[in-house]
Chains A and B, each alone.
Chain A
Amino acid sequence: MAQTPSMRRAPQEAFTGATARPRDLAIEVMDLTVAYRDKPVLWDVDMNVPSSALMAIVGPNGAGKTTLIKAILGLVDISAGRVLIAGRPYEQQRRRVAYVPQRGSVDWDFPTTVLDVVMMGRYGALGWIKRPGARERQAAAEALEKVAMSDYAHRQISQLSGGQQQRVFLARSLVQDADVYLMDEPFQGVDATTERAIVTLLQELRDSGATVVCVHHDLQTVTEYFDSVTLLNVRRIASGPTSDVFTEENLRATYGGRMAWLKTASKTEPAQD
């Protein structure tokens, strides 16, 4: 994988009179508030994600996890606060941010092939009207190689299993050669092999300098897969390295319920009271 450029930036922009913030932050979310019909979905959320990090966002249903991702990407209206990617507003940094949405967000019966979907990741670089060509095809093929889906390049997407669909979405994000990856429940409903493969891939991305943030549904695997975590329930409860932040107390504050299940080996998220 190509070396990603350093995330350091000259500290000129953004703040006047504020204390200098460390500039190796890939994502800075400040005072973010998102409302739906004047009910807060996200409330005054701060989150800093350093570069070369693999972070999970966890929280109960309705906590605003998906909304947080979408707010960073500009897909929902922000009531207050701001988001910086490597010190600049998101709109200026689109090319550096890749998005892997939930699998259920598209109709997989759409007539198109795996390779075609992956190539869509290059459309942004092409701009308006221009058609994808050999270069885009090549990039897509390489991305498919990385997710072990090369054999499926010309398969119709409706014929894919859940794990395969997830890999296709991942490949689509890989072709963008981004510095920041935002993923919404990439492990939801995939088989064990795919899960292992995805974790390895994400860790490789992290090790090469990229920042990966995932909305994650399975608390049991947070410590194993992610080096940092944000606990969210409309407000940010805690955010930082997993070892520091992923504590029973913080989890209790986030989920606000009985914690006995945490000790069990079940892989599912508990129902909320």
Chain B
Amino acid sequence: MFELFTDYTLRTVAMGAGVLGIVSGVLGSFTVLRHQSLLGDAISHAALPGIVLAFLVTGSNAPLPLIVGAGVAGWVGTLLVRAIVRNTRIKNDGALGLVLSVFFGVGLMLLTYSQSRPDASQAGLDKFLFGQAAALLRNDVITIAALGGVAIVVVALFWKEFKLLSFDPEFGSVLGFRMGAIDVLLTTLVVVAIVIGLQTVGVVLMSAMVVAPGAAARQWTDRLGVMVCLSALFGALAGVTGALLSSTGAKLPTGPMVVLSASAIVILSLLFAPNRGLVWDKWRSRRTMISAGPQERAGRP
């Protein structure tokens, strides 16, 4: 554990994962509440062609253009999902699945085309699939933190607008707020969070980071502010724990360890959170039965 303070690489990775956890926790709270949990999955997959194109256009592996490429592609994917749902009878799940897989396929095709090799076991794609948490550099972490910081500030500024958007957008519209614009803003922040996270945990697992901390936090509180903070905390905890655990042994890839940590937090929350937790529920109903008189137990009023 104390390697956290002495080992530079471990510190960097843990910080990167931790920051990711915070940002995806904060933004994930809103996507969970809006029942858009799988949008994260779609955006992650849709980002691939953007990354490849950015790489082809700039010819460099520098993170910023790739992030921009990923972001644009993710955004375009979201727009397409909406267009499909609005204009055809294909429902949200079908549209998400379609955009997710087709965009990813396009990205794969472009990637292999650019490398003139029919298989894609390239370090580049691996990084995208599974993240390269172990290869995070300090500069990467700084970029992540900067972007993440901006996202969090925006959330703080537009707090009541995002609350309105998530709870009752029609009412917000009647009050005079441009709910469409607010939706665009929030979705953009989600795209940013995901694009940041792709570097750390990769495509497949990114959707978990946008869902798990928020879902876990919801079990502990009924207040939005507390939920979002708790979600950030859980995300950071998952990130750092995952990084630590993965450093303890060989062949324990960071991305999956982070996700498992997050999943463990969710399971514990689902079971043990007061009020909503399943264990508490069982215990409470037993207590009610015990303290009830014999008539109640027999079912008579």
Interface positions of A (Cβ within 8 A of B) = 73-75, 94-95, 97, 99, 101, 105-107, 110-113, 116-117, 120-121, 123-124, 126, 128-129, 131-132, 156, 158, 172
CA distance A54 to B227 in the complex (A): 41
- Residue of B171, B172, B223 touching A112 (CB-CB under 8 A): B223
B221 within 8 Å of A by Cβ? yes
The answer to whether A156 touches B222, judged by C-beta atoms less than 8 angstroms apart, is: yes
B1 within 8 Å of A by Cβ? no
Nearest CB in chain B: distance from A12 CB, A: 25
Given contacts A124-B177, A128-B161, contact A111 B221 (CB under 8 A): yes
- Residue of A120, A126, A129 touching B168 (CB-CB under 8 A): A120
Nearest CB in chain A: distance from B68 CB, A: 27
Which residues of B sit under 8 angstroms from A123, Cβ to Cβ?
160, 164, 172, 175, 177
The answer to whether B177 touches A106, judged by C-beta atoms less than 8 angstroms apart, is: no
The answer to whether B227 touches A97, judged by C-beta atoms less than 8 angstroms apart, is: no
Interface positions of B (Cβ within 8 A of A) = 33, 35, 157-161, 163-164, 166-168, 170-177, 218, 221-224, 227
CA distance A73 to B161 in the complex (A): 19
CA distance A73 to B160 in the complex (A): 21
Q: Which of A75, A95, A107, A111 has the most CB of B within 10 A?
A: A111
Given contacts A94-B176, A123-B175, contact A113 B168 (CB under 8 A): no
The answer to whether A99 touches B176, judged by C-beta atoms less than 8 angstroms apart, is: no
The answer to whether A110 touches B176, judged by C-beta atoms less than 8 angstroms apart, is: no
The answer to whether A105 touches B174, judged by C-beta atoms less than 8 angstroms apart, is: no
The answer to whether B159 touches A112, judged by C-beta atoms less than 8 angstroms apart, is: no
Q: Which of B35, B174, B227 has the most CB of A within 10 A?
A: B174
- Residue of B164, B168, B218 touching A105 (CB-CB under 8 A): B168
Nearest CB in chain B: distance from A65 CB, A: 16
CA distance A99 to B161 in the complex (A): 18
CA distance A128 to B158 in the complex (A): 8
The answer to whether B160 touches A112, judged by C-beta atoms less than 8 angstroms apart, is: no
Given contacts A101-B171, A105-B168, contact A124 B176 (CB under 8 A): yes
- Residue of A75, A126, A156 touching B173 (CB-CB under 8 A): A75
CA distance A95 to B157 in the complex (A): 23
The answer to whether A75 touches B166, judged by C-beta atoms less than 8 angstroms apart, is: no
CA distance A97 to B171 in the complex (A): 12
The answer to whether B33 touches A110, judged by C-beta atoms less than 8 angstroms apart, is: yes
14 A-B pairs besides A94-B175, A107-B35 with CB distance below 8 A are: A74-B173, A99-B174, A110-B33, A111-B218, A111-B223, A112-B163, A112-B167, A112-B222, A113-B223, A120-B164, A123-B175, A124-B175, A124-B177, A156-B222
The answer to whether B174 touches A75, judged by C-beta atoms less than 8 angstroms apart, is: yes
The answer to whether A75 touches B170, judged by C-beta atoms less than 8 angstroms apart, is: yes
The answer to whether A132 touches B176, judged by C-beta atoms less than 8 angstroms apart, is: no
B174 to A, closest residue via Cβ: A99
CA distance A112 to B161 in the complex (A): 14
Which residues of A sit under 8 angstroms from B158, Cβ to Cβ?
128-129
